[in-house]
Amino acid sequence: MLDVPHAPRSQDLNGIQLAEWGAHDAERDFSTWPPALAAEVSRQFGHHPWRASCDDDRRGADHRRFAEELVRAIGEKERLTRHFLDRDDWDFLAQVFTEAHCAGHQCWHLTDPAHPRHDPAEGAQAGDPIGKVYEALDGALGRLLPALEEDALVLILAGHGMGASFGAQHLLDQVLLRLGVAAPPLASARPPSTKARVLGALRPLWRLLPASLRANLDQQRRRARRRLNDRRPAHHRSIDPARSQCFLVENTPAHGAIRVNLRGREPQGLIEPGADFERFCAMLERDLMDLTAVPSGRPLVKRVIRRDRTYPGPMSERLPDLFVEWNHEVGVTEIGSDKIGRIAGQNHHCRTGDHRPEGLFIALGPGLPAGEIGRAVSILDFAPTIARLLEVELPETEGHVIAEITEAVLSVSPPVGQET
Ligand SMILES: [Zn+2]
Ligand SMILES: [Zn+2]
């Protein structure tokens, strides 16, 4: 298992695992199973240029350098994959290339002329970073596939798609304040600590450091910031959760995340569970659905997703109660509705691209006919499909076996455990 994002290192795995050698938005330090493997990998392959976060405020030529680093990282991952591929006779091997994801988030405005921040001169300076990264990935795959055994089943999976990041996430705090469901902190609230202000003042200096140094120091910087500061991003701090009926939870810009200040659950809850909660959610959903982009008048919110109706499970109470799915077809600099009037504000977040629900998968291998599968499968279906092919029990899964793959493959080659 090589670099599967957000997958913590397993214990006692019958195999090897690299956790976050080069994963987008790594949450931990690089570690391996068995633990001693980490030193060997670092010695032979060094470090990925973007281990912690690739978020940064880049301009033209910075994007060109960013793409060059991602392309170099793809080359290292190819070398690393080949190294472990040749090392044993694996039943299963997974490698995740996260570089296309990084390029999509950071560089979308350079590729998309409809993006409000698109600037052809900057695009020319940057030199098509997304195209270069996709080509490098394609090249790496093209060289890795012939190295596999002839009867290997290959699954190539892009877990989700990418597109322009629009939406009004950057204005959602102002919307809640104008709707009267959130309240600002009292003027007497404690000002940021001296240390936190010093860290803020150092930000321009941080920008002057070379990108490679920034990448190496980024994890320590984030930790320091978390210790010193309020963990919430700046635009969440305009709301005082204790005085509000609901408040924002940090989430990726594809979906705004709102948690209701529920009595009995939150420390200073204001909304009663049951009928009050239901009424509040229904009202907020209507008011959010009324938001439109100015001047086009096009709806800004595709739908509001209720967590309790979407994500079952014992830990689901810890998630936000409502997710605001933005309409990513509309670039936004001003929004409005009858209730909130108008609110203007440019989105300066460095991520100009964001996720789309539709991904991509390609399967090739023995017994699989050429052609399209003709239906969409869920991301949840891959685990049970792989488990079926390996004859491994996978209890408590919500996904379904992709029969078009398993039936074709098992008809020509028996499951791993039954090989003679
Ligand atoms: Zn990234
Ligand atoms: Zn992402």
Structural domain includes residue 96:
yes
Structural domain includes residue 398:
no
The verdict on 69 and 54 lying in the same domain is yes
Structural domain includes residue 272:
yes
Q: What is the pLDDT, as a whole number, of residue 333?
A: 83
Helices (H), 180-312: 194-201, 203-208, 211-228, 275-289, 307-310
Q: What is the pLDDT, as a whole number, of residue 99?
A: 94
The CA 51 to ligand 1 mean position distance, Å, reads 8
Q: Report the C-alpha dihedral over residues 207, 228, 101, 99, rounded to 10 degrees.
A: 60
Q: In Å, how far are 170, 182, 193, 241, 391 from 186, measured between CA atoms?
A: 22, 12, 17, 11, 60
Enter the DSSP assignment of 257: E
The CA 24 to ligand 1 mean position distance, Å, reads 4
Structural domain includes residue 342:
yes
Q: In Å, how far are 175, 288, 341, 358 from 294, measured between CA atoms?
A: 14, 15, 11, 28
Structural domain includes residue 376:
no
Q: What is the pLDDT, as a whole number, of residue 319?
A: 95
The verdict on 197 and 255 lying in the same domain is no
By CB neighbour count within 10 A (0-12 exposed, 13-18 middle, 19+ buried), where does 19 fall?
A: buried
The CA 6 to ligand 2 mean position distance, Å, reads 12
The CA 297 to ligand 2 mean position distance, Å, reads 29
Place of tokens 């003709």: 374
The CA 101 to ligand 2 mean position distance, Å, reads 6
The verdict on 249 and 300 lying in the same domain is yes
Counted domains in the chain: 3
Domain that holds residue 279: 169-192+232-348
Structural domain includes residue 281:
yes
The verdict on 203 and 334 lying in the same domain is no
Helices (H), 2-128: 37-45, 60-85, 99-111, 120-126
* Residues 337-343: contacts with CB under 8 Å, at least 24 apart: 337/287, 337/290, 337/291, 337/292, 338/290, 339/178, 339/179, 339/287, 339/290, 340/174, 340/175, 340/178, 340/179, 340/287, 340/291, 341/178, 342/294, 343/171, 343/174, 343/175, 343/178
d(CA 417, CA 420): 9
What's the pTM value of the predicted model, to 2 decimals? 0.81
The verdict on 199 and 340 lying in the same domain is no
Q: What is the pLDDT, as a whole number, of residue 227?
A: 52
The verdict on 61 and 152 lying in the same domain is yes
The verdict on 103 and 176 lying in the same domain is no
d(CA 352, CA 25): 16
Query: End-to-end distance of the chain based on CA atoms, in angstroms?
Result: 25
The CA 277 to ligand 1 mean position distance, Å, reads 37
Helix (H, G, I), strand (E, B) or coil at 203: helix
The verdict on 111 and 79 lying in the same domain is yes
The CA 351 to ligand 2 mean position distance, Å, reads 9
Q: What is the pLDDT, as a whole number, of residue 309?
A: 93
Structural domain includes residue 373:
no
pLDDT tens digit at each of 420 positions of the chain: 999 988 889 988 999 999 999 878 888 889 999 999 999 999 999 888 777 788 888 988 899 999 999 999 999 999 999 999 999 999 999 999 999 999 999 999 999 988 888 999 999 999 999 999 999 999 999 999 999 998 899 999 999 999 998 888 889 999 999 999 999 999 865 555 566 566 666 666 776 776 667 766 766 666 666 555 555 677 778 999 999 999 999 888 889 999 999 999 999 999 999 999 999 999 999 999 999 999 889 999 999 999 999 988 889 999 999 999 998 877 778 999 999 999 998 888 889 999 988 999 999 998 999 999 999 999 999 999 999 999 999 988 889 999 999 999 999 876 655 554
Q: Which ligand is nearest to the CA of 162?
A: 2
By CB neighbour count within 10 A (0-12 exposed, 13-18 middle, 19+ buried), where does 248 fall?
A: buried
